[in-house]
Amino acid sequence: MFQSFQIQAPQSALDVNLQHKIDTKTKPPGSLGSLEHIAFQLGRIQGKTTPDVSSAKMIVFAADHGVVDQGISLFPQEVTPQMVMNFLMGGAAVSVFCQQHNVPLRVVDVGVKVDLDDHPLLAKRKVAYASQDFSRTAAMTPEQVAKALQAGVEEVDQAIAEGCQLLMFGEMGIGNTCVSSCMMSALLGDDATLTTGRGTGLDEHGVSHKANIIQQALLRAEQDTGQLMVDWSPQTLAEQVGGFEILAMAGAMLQAAKCQTAFVVDGFICSVALLFAHKVAPLVKEYAIFAHQSNEQAHQRLLDYLNVEPILSLDLRLGEGSGAILSYPLIQSACVFMAQMASFESAGVSDQT
């Protein structure tokens, strides 16, 4: 049975006070642009006019995917555990950026194809040794769907119990751009040619092949379920074409929203996790801050569908949560100006007439 997430809308009682505080800082109204929107959103979520994100955490979920057997990635599957170890040893992009901004990093194995050695930064929540090849059969069982979602839930519960005020999510898994494109097609009804991009650097032939595999997977799943993909429930979609790390991220987002805690959405793959979570409980989006628009071709379409504006556009396509951690200083700045910037009254500066 698919887990239920009861999410409340962020508080509105302070809306007038929040907007007044933002507008009476020593600046023209709206002149801090997106920082003002972020400050207002965080204030509503946290229920205070001086929001705080000084305690943040990055959680990266990792898993492998059976569809890699269809040649949809330039990189072999053994890169997944190799990169996980790189995260843990501090050598990956997300690792060095987390170190730069003093944000704790946690890596969660929800489906890497091999057993990983113990490490202080590693959480072992393996659902299975990779999902199944969804071009041939369902990606996972109902029990595996529940376990993947629960991995995200429990990681968020632990982080919030530790005092975390802002969660950031990332992912690692060779083939997960293909899985994300397939999930997006199923969620929005888009043709695979519109949701499939270059991933880790495929050429035009590689992109075409990946789109064909996705289309094959969706047709197979429709035949097996006896339902058109636009009619699938979240449970059916997850079983047929999901990925363990994507579902774990979705579970984490849903639980963060349930606990009224803001979280940062990284790039394309993380945004697909949010899109899935949005299908489960639409109010989850109210707790999401979108880090950046990635280089993956379908990401802009997805952001437009969700009607959201990301903070950055740096032509990134790395994943890992790299865009999320790069956006963190700006999110901090939104809180700093609320807490420390003078008002017209306190600074003795004449306001507009």
At 192-231, the pLDDT tens digits run: 999 998 877 789 898 999 999 999 999 999 999 999 998 9
7 inside domain: no
Is residue 61 within 8 A of residue 269, CB to CB? The reply is no
CATH number at residue 220: 3.40.50.10210
Q: What angle do CA 116, 117, 121 make, to 5 degrees?
A: 95
Using a pLDDT cut of 70, give the percent of the chain over it: 99
How many structural domains does the chain have?
1
The domain of 289 spans: 56-330
Retrieve residue 49's tokens. Answer: 């006019």
Is residue 172 within 8 A of residue 83, CB to CB? The reply is yes
Give dist(CA 59, CA 82) in Å, integer: 18
173 inside domain: yes
- Mind listing the pLDDT tens digit for each residue in 142-185? 999 999 999 999 999 999 999 999 999 999 999 999 999 999 99
Give dist(CA 64, CA 126) in Å, integer: 11
286 inside domain: yes
Q: Would you please indicate which residues are annotated as catalytic (active-site) residues?
A: 320
42 inside domain: no
**Phi and psi of 202, rounded to 5°?**
-65, 150
Would the CA dihedral through 159, 262, 102, 275 be positive or negative? Answer: positive
H or E segment and range at residue 262: strand 262-265
* Strands 166-172, 262-265: pairing kind: parallel
197 inside domain: yes
The pLDDT of residue 336 is 98
The pLDDT of residue 353 is 55
- Mind listing the pLDDT tens digit for each residue in 223-277? 999 999 989 999 999 999 999 999 999 999 999 999 999 999 999 999 999 999 9
- Mind listing the pLDDT tens digit for each residue in 22-41? 999 999 999 999 999 999 99
272 inside domain: yes
